[in-house]
């Protein structure tokens, strides 16, 4: 049965078809997808914190309602992705425990502080912009529930990126102090946003297998390149500069050359040593523990309803 299963799986991958939860799949395919999809879900949930910090400080009701809508979207993205991950056989409770009490990763970018209102613009434009570049190819991931979750998420990310752009555009065309605030936010988020795409291809242990399984469609460096090319023109339109003296387009290679990124900082941040890791985890743990009564009440209600149905 395993031989037949493996053959069928390899045929699905070879013809670039989709693998559904009920299909046979290699244990390491299941394991790597659980790893990536759960970390993606954790990123969405932890990513709510920097922005939630500014909802009560938004400069207008319009901005407040837009930011609330965005943060709510992120919670929904986490829900889609935890649900998609559960189809691989790990329960949401276990995934949550891996994040809160274990050592599960989430995107490095959320371990940096959101110091000013302009950071809401830089996060929307750069972080959600980078997420779009990384997530559009994932709509075609071989694992069907992941690809399906990405389609809806990408649609909402476009709104996230646009609202971030608009915040920066208003500030950059406002008073000199507002323009400086926008420039400062871009200065702080530019390099960490480039590192969202993962380590250089030569140092990416998962890439080769992930690409062979049609999960990862483009390499970390390829997508980073694509993102840099996108934001160079947008930064000009914003009237802001990217804090990268090395940034130039190399005609010969057709590649954007950017500054070296600090991969020691990256490794430190993903190992828990970033500016906000401890605060983000403490907040997530408190929210989970404070919410235990809601989960218990919902479970008790569901049991009562089930008993009633059995009577």
User: 38, exposed or middle or buried, with CB in 10 Å at 0-12, 13-18, 19+?
Assistant: buried
Q: Which is nearer to ligand 3HC, 121 or 198 (CB)?
A: 198
Q: Whole-number minimum distance, CB 297 to ligand 3HC, in Å?
A: 30
Q: Which is nearer to ligand 3HC, 161 or 172 (CB)?
A: 161
Spell out the residues 6+ positions from residue 70 whose beta carbon is closer than 8 angstroms to its own.
Answer: 51, 124, 159, 160, 163
- Please, are residues 23 and 9 in contact by the beta-carbon 8 Å criterion? yes
Q: Which is nearer to ligand 3HC, 24 or 261 (CB)?
A: 261
C-alpha 70/C-alpha 72 separation (Å) is: 5
Supply 48's token pair. Answer: 């709510």
Q: Whole-number minimum distance, CB 268 to ligand 3HC, in Å?
A: 12
Q: How far apart are the first and last CA of the chain?
A: 42
Q: Whole-number minimum distance, CB 176 to ligand 3HC, in Å?
A: 30
Q: Whole-number minimum distance, CB 83 to ligand 3HC, in Å?
A: 16
Biggest CA–CA distance in the chain, Å, is 76
C-alpha 69/C-alpha 92 separation (Å) is: 24
Q: Whole-number minimum distance, CB 173 to ligand 3HC, in Å?
A: 25
C-alpha 44/C-alpha 106 separation (Å) is: 8
Contacts with ligand 3HC by CB under 6 A lie at: 35-36, 39-40, 43-44, 47, 74, 105, 107-108, 127-128, 131, 134, 195-199, 204-207, 210, 216, 220, 270
- Please, are residues 5 and 24 in contact by the beta-carbon 8 Å criterion? yes
Supply 216's token pair. Answer: 């990862």
Q: Whole-number minimum distance, CB 49 to ligand 3HC, in Å?
A: 12
Q: Which is nearer to ligand 3HC, 131 or 171 (CB)?
A: 131
Q: Whole-number minimum distance, CB 47 to ligand 3HC, in Å?
A: 4
C-alpha 215/C-alpha 306 separation (Å) is: 39
Q: Which is nearer to ligand 3HC, 122 or 196 (CB)?
A: 196
Q: Which is nearer to ligand 3HC, 73 or 244 (CB)?
A: 73
Q: Which is nearer to ligand 3HC, 107 or 214 (CB)?
A: 107
- Please, are residues 31 and 96 in contact by the beta-carbon 8 Å criterion? no
C-alpha 281/C-alpha 277 separation (Å) is: 6
Supply 179's token pair. Answer: 């323009």
């Amino acid at each position: 049965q395993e031989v037949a299963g493996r053959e069928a799986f390899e045929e699905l991958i070879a013809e670039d078809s989709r693998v559904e939860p009920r299909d046979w799949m290699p244990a390491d395919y299941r394991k790597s997808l659980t790893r990536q999809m759960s970390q993606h879900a954790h990123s969405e949930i932890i990513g709510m914190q920097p922005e939630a910090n500014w909802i009560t400080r938004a400069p207008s009701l319009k901005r407040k309602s837009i930011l609330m809508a965005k943060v709510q979207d992120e919670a929904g993205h986490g829900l889609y992705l935890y649900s998609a991950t559960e189809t691989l056989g790990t329960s949401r409770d276990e995934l949550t425990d891996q994040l809160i009490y274990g050592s599960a990763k989430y995107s490095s970018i959320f371990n940096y502080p959101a110091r000013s209102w302009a950071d809401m613009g830089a996060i929307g434009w750069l972080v959600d912009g980078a997420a779009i570049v990384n997530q559009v190819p994932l709509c075609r991931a071989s694992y069907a529930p992941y690809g399906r979750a990405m389609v809806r998420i990408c649609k909402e990310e476009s709104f996230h990126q646009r609202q971030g752009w608009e915040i920066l555009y208003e500030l950059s065309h406002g008073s000199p102090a507002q323009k400086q605030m926008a420039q400062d936010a871009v200065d702080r988020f530019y390099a960490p946003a480039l590192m969202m795409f993962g380590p250089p291809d030569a140092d990416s242990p998962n890439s080769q297998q992930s690409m062979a399984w049609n999960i990862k469609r483009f390499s970390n460096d390829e997508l980073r390149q694509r993102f840099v090319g996108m934001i160079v023109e947008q930064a000009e339109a914003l009237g802001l500069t990217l804090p990268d003296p090395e940034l130039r387009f190399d005609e010969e290679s057709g590649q954007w050359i950017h500054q070296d990124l600090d991969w020691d900082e990256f490794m430190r941040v993903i190992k828990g040593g970033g500016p906000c890791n401890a605060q983000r985890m403490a907040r997530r743990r408190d929210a989970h523990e404070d919410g235990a009564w809601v989960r218990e009440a919902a479970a008790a209600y569901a049991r009562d309803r089930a008993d009633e149905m059995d009577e």
